[in-house]
Chain A
Amino acid sequence: MILQSIAFILGTTLMYATPLIYTSLGGTISENSGVVNIGLEGIMFMGAFIGAAVGFYTHSGWIGFLAAGVVGGLFGLLHAVACITFTADQVVSGIAINFLGPGFALLLCRLTFDGAAMTVPLPLDEKISRPLNGLFEQNSFFDMIFNRYSTVYLAFILVFLMWFLLYKTRLGLRIRAVGEHPEAAATLGINVYKIRYFSVIMSGVLSGFGGAAMSIAIVSQFRVTLISGQGFIALAAMIFGRWKPQGAMWACLLFGLANGIVIFMPRTGLDISSQLLSMLPYVLTLILLVVFVGKAIAPSADGEIYEKH
């Protein structure tokens, strides 16, 4: 029974951490290149809609997932054009995207789903697959933890790939150089604009995935309240994880775990207010920030406008 409970909590942790991981990886790559992207929330919102809508019309969760990445990338491009080419204040541009993402998502939703603010749910067999389904005995310990939608595994693979990209490749070195000291990077012949465009567009793609991981894996449809703050939590997770992919992943897992415990608690029959319990992850984050992390160190040029002279 205890094992079952642990498995349930861990399984739920993985499930809820996944959308956050995608989005926080998006934040990580963008901010490592020196562009703050506070618009993750809005892009996630859009990704959730596109994933569910395209998935519904093409009868394929995967096409929906990819489409969410593409449209997320377009929003990333918009942020890039504003911040990099037109030297916009990055926070302000991000705020704008947080209005545009939900605005366009709901507008398109009403146009394509008869005026409704939610999409028609995907049938179960058209959702993203569960590759390990049947590998373990049903409702066994491992089944409850690891029998997850592919998006969950993909998220962890992407954490590794992002780590590899940032710390083991030339491109990653350039991304970080541009984020630390764009002027110096430029004198070494690095095209600051190109690197930043790439990073910001990627952050859009990943946030789009994050939204879709919510709408076509955790649930089966997009609705107005589906994305309410996850983008900001992913942003917080990235800061909490000190702008590193693996750090962000651990922070997302922490949020996922807290979520798992909140969902699990009612089953125990303990009389703890679910409202107070829901507060826990946020209070915990604050405490951990104070106790363990102290000064979070952002890339030096994070948020700074770069102009070629």
Chain B
Amino acid sequence: MSEKKKLTDSPVWITMISISFGLIFGAIILLIIGYNPLTAFTVILKGIFSKPKYISWTVIYATPIILTGLSVAFAFKTGLFNIGAEGQYIVGAITAALAGYFISLPPILHIPLVLILSIGAGAFWGSISGYLKAKYEVNEVISTIMLNWVALYLNNFIVLHDKVKREGSEATNKVLDSAQLIFANTWKTSEAGISWRKVHPFFGDILRTPANGGFLIAVGAAIVVLIILNKTTLGYSLKAVGINREAAEFGGINVPSNIVSAMAISGGLAGLAGAVQVLGFTREASALAASEGYGFEGITVALIGANNPIGCVLAGLLYGAMKYGGSKIQPAIGAPYEIISIIMGMIVLFISMPKLIKTLKLKKKEDK
């Protein structure tokens, strides 16, 4: 009995219930606006799983938001709310686009160098907020919001600069082949590649997409975060500050320097997200009219993933799948794509209310 109770109160259980409620709510909305939810969900599921290349696209969609999700989750764990993953992502992306084009090195050095530079840029951007909080007690929510905008305009300034801009576009030059992360990018269109793809339909189909190493990097980052949080002194003190600042201080932990480190690591993860997106998918940074939303989607990923690194990977895949699969309902049956935002929003809303879910459960028991 007691064990069963534990299971149904666990965050995983609440997440599962919330996801189902979100989907049910989405179905009801679809029904109200005159679409068959079963058809819609079938289209989404087929759009995700029915071909190898669809699965590959799902993973490509998931990659950046897994990393921004990790970024937000890491900050949450240390008691900070990083709304600034958006801006840290942007500085990571522009850094990658510049370092990927202007530096030339063999791939084995070029890729790690670009990744490190982008992580550094994101970490720097995040640590500004950390420093302002530690030194001047400026609320990190407000400073990260401000820095998101500064990052956006800085990005546009750099991208549109004469020496950076690609002729006839509002984007940078494509990163060099030595920096890109796309699997077999040149080989797959060569003669040998094309004939190999014919013999191996599964992998051949995947290679039609810009399948890339980004997902592996994201999973690697999740493992690193897991280790930092659970196996290192740094992680221990960061979490201690997150749980109770005063107690941590009393226990001899240097709180201000911990806040700066936490925001730097969080920003570094978001910067890595930007790098991976540029090196693995877009191969360029573009001028932005508004933020792309990876930071905010990262907040959702962190929440659905219960701030657990592995949870973030799974939640990122879920979100990526909904984004990619959901993009197919409009052409297929005409249902508005925005239903996906509504479903994701409802999932987050239910996750925020464990009390509601527990209340419903109690009611059910009483009914029996």
Chain A residues in the interface with B (C-beta under 8 A): 38, 78, 82, 86-89, 91-93, 95-100, 102-104, 106-107, 110-111, 115, 225, 228-229, 232-233, 235-236, 239-240, 273, 275-276, 278-279, 282-283, 285-286, 289-290, 293-296
Contacts and interface: CB of A to CB of B under 8 A. Distances in A.
A89 B306 CA distance: 13
Contact of B289 (A78, A103, A225, A290): A225
Given A82-B353, A290-B136, A294-B136, A99 B153 contact: no
Contacts of A97: 345, 349
A55 to B, nearest CB: 21
B300 interface: yes
A106 B146 contact: no
Contact of B153 (A86, A104, A275, A286): A275
Residue among A99, A115, A235, A282 facing the most chain B CB atoms (10 A cut-off): A99
A308 to B, nearest CB: 13
Nearest to B356: A86
A95 B342 contact: no
Contacts of B341: 99-100, 102-103, 106
A100 B145 contact: no
A288 B339 CA distance: 41
Given A107-B342, A229-B149, A236 B352 contact: no
Contacts of A38: 141
Interface of B: 29, 33, 81, 83, 132, 136-139, 141-143, 145-150, 153-154, 156-157, 160, 289-291, 296, 299-300, 303, 334, 336, 338-342, 344-346, 348-349, 351-353, 355-356, 359
Given A275-B153, A283-B150, A92 B303 contact: yes
B4 to A, nearest CB: 24
A95 B146 contact: no
Contact of B346 (A86, A91, A96): A96
Given A86-B353, A229-B145, A279-B149, 4 more contacts: A88-B352, A278-B149, A282-B149, A295-B136
Contact of A110 (B303, B336, B355): B336
A105 to B, nearest CB: 8
A96 B138 contact: no
Nearest to B81: A91
B287 to A, nearest CB: 9
A276 B153 CA distance: 7
B142 A239 contact: yes
Residue among A100, A103, A278 facing the most chain B CB atoms (10 A cut-off): A103
A111 B291 contact: no
Given A99-B341, A229-B149, A87 B81 contact: no
A57 B359 CA distance: 42
7 contacts: A88-B352, A99-B300, A100-B345, A282-B150, A286-B146, A293-B138, A294-B136
Given A88-B352, A107-B338, A289-B143, A294 B81 contact: no
Contacts of A295: 136-137
A236 B303 contact: no
Residue among B33, B139, B148 facing the most chain A CB atoms (10 A cut-off): B139
A291 to B, nearest CB: 9
A111 B330 CA distance: 12
A93 B353 contact: yes
B137 to A, nearest CB: 4
B147 A282 contact: yes
Q: List 5 A-B pairs, minimum CB-CB distance, nearest first.
A: A99-B345, A103-B341, A96-B349, A92-B352, A88-B352
A228 B132 contact: no
Contacts of A275: 153-154, 156-157, 160
Given A86-B356, A98-B296, A103 B342 contact: yes
A99 B352 CA distance: 14
Contacts of A86: 353, 355-356, 359
